[in-house]
Chain A
Amino acid sequence: MRIVVCVKQVPATNDARIDPETKRIVREGVKAILNPFDTYAVEEAVLLRNRFGGEVIVISMGPEKALASLREAISVGADRAILLSNRAFGGSDTWATSYVLARAIQKIGQVDLVICGKQAVDGDTAQVGPGIAAHLDWLQATNVNHVEDVTDRDMKVTRMHEDGYDVCELAFPAVLTVVKGINIPRVPTLRGRLASLKSEIPVWGPADIGTDIDKIGLEGSPTRVVKTEPPKPRSTATKKISGAAVDCAIELVRELRLRSIL
């Protein structure tokens, strides 16, 4: 089974404080990490490879520093990685990004399964996984939290949704997006980490994967961000309630009534 995992490097959100004026989060530090959802995608691919044989190839579109995230995936068991990096890819929205990833998957060839994290925690769009499936005209299953009965033709997957979950049969080739809970990603061993530092990761550009120039980068992106601004500040003052439990409860219920919530 040949599995491609698509990953993204995102800013870490560990260091943050609350701005007392706006009550909004202030981010500090710009450390880059592997998108948390993608760690589940990598682990699921490695588990499937360990059970059914084959190969796990991790790809990412991004700047050169995204190599660190690809190395992280190799350190936990991916066989190899490819970075899609070129100035011409810059400014791509989810349409163009999924196009570039789909072209790379076609170039790799003989791929049975693509696994993505449910969404990247910076953009939060969740559009790239289904976008790849559409560009490839493959089957897709999103929000997957369980995989079973894998044969060489198909697999059963469980999808989470608002009203419960469903089980469906998905013929290969297919694209999955996975959620937390599908597995517990392993922590790299020292040997794995050291091997990943030595691993050769090729960098592919538009010529390597044969992309149409008008489908990549800003030119190939239908959407335009016209404005970004901070969100409206939250109401400034915090109403503080303390004292005996029963008094706190009475006061809180009174506040909720005042706001017509109860």
Chain B
Amino acid sequence: MFHTVQNKMYHVEILPPKQDTEQLEADLESFSKKYNRVINSGYCACITDNAMGLLGFQGSEIIDVMGLDVNPEKVVIHLNTFHTKEDLHNILDTCKSRGIKYLLIISGDGSDRLPRLKPEDVNAMDVESVTSVELLKYIKDCCPDDFVLGVAFNPYEPPNHEFEKMQRKIDAGASFIITQPIVEKNDRVDELLKKYPHIPVIVDAWMNKKLQILSEAVGYKIPDDETFDPVVTLKKLHRDYPQCGFYLSLLSFKTQFDLLPGIWP
């Protein structure tokens, strides 16, 4: 994953079509266009997995069904714990067959429509519920040579707990880290960089103008009258974190994508 830092490859988030869409075919077209645009611009396409518990279609399946080209160095698939075992293996098999190498393993957000992996599904008898740690271990065991697995870091959680969890993720075999979205230099992220200097850390820059969404998602406290310019913030984050890769959350393909060249110093 260091290649994305060295080559200044943005990780560009792409949301798959939603399950309740009434225009699936048009949404799939639009998804494919975004995907190709990201790849052809030399960036890395990152496809979410039912983010915020909102039901969408699976990234690997869309790539397969739509016959999209996969460059293993330019695709990251998010994979969370809200799947059945059968689902999980279908996703892993599709990823393998399409040459998708990078998986971001997260606990994820549930919803009443989403089943969660059970401990016995991932051979984790000593836990009450499956988190990213157990899922990561399981994938390491069942497909040892197929994937490079990353994990998330949440600077908004109580730090002791989060760092303890991070160590377990690293011990389980995580080899890159993507943070939760930030909008300014963050002490916890600084600490993370100090703790794991040999692991690539990709900072998530929040690209949506609406900070409230971020606030609702992670509990980030914002003043009501705050005005927020994502591009200015991104530039500033580059200065703060020159050694990091960058993940762009909720980037607007209409208004922001074409501004990206030249931002990364």
Contacts and interface: CB of A to CB of B under 8 A. Distances in A.
A189 B61 contact: yes
Nearest to A183: B115
B113 A193 contact: no
B113 A185 contact: yes
A191 B62 CA distance: 9
Summarize A's interface: helix, strand, loop or mixed.
Answer: loop
B231 interface: no
B113 to A, nearest CB: 6
Contacts of B113: 185, 187
Contacts of B90: 189
Interface string B58-70: 1001100100000
A194 interface: yes
A62 interface: no
B71 interface: no
Given A184-B115, A185-B113, A197-B24, A191 B65 contact: yes
Interface size class of B (residues with CB under 8 A): 10 to 19
Contact of A189 (B25, B57, B115): B57
Contacts of B61: 189-191
A161 to B, nearest CB: 24
Contacts, number: 27
A232 B90 CA distance: 52
A35 to B, nearest CB: 14
Contacts of A188: 19
A200 B226 CA distance: 53
Contacts of A254: none
A186 interface: yes
Interface of A: 184-191, 193-194, 197
Interface of B: 19, 24-25, 55, 57-58, 61-62, 65, 84, 90, 113-115
19 contacts: A185-B113, A186-B115, A187-B19, A187-B55, A187-B114, A188-B19, A189-B57, A189-B58, A189-B61, A189-B90, A190-B58, A190-B62, A190-B65, A191-B61, A193-B19, A193-B57, A194-B65, A197-B24, A197-B25
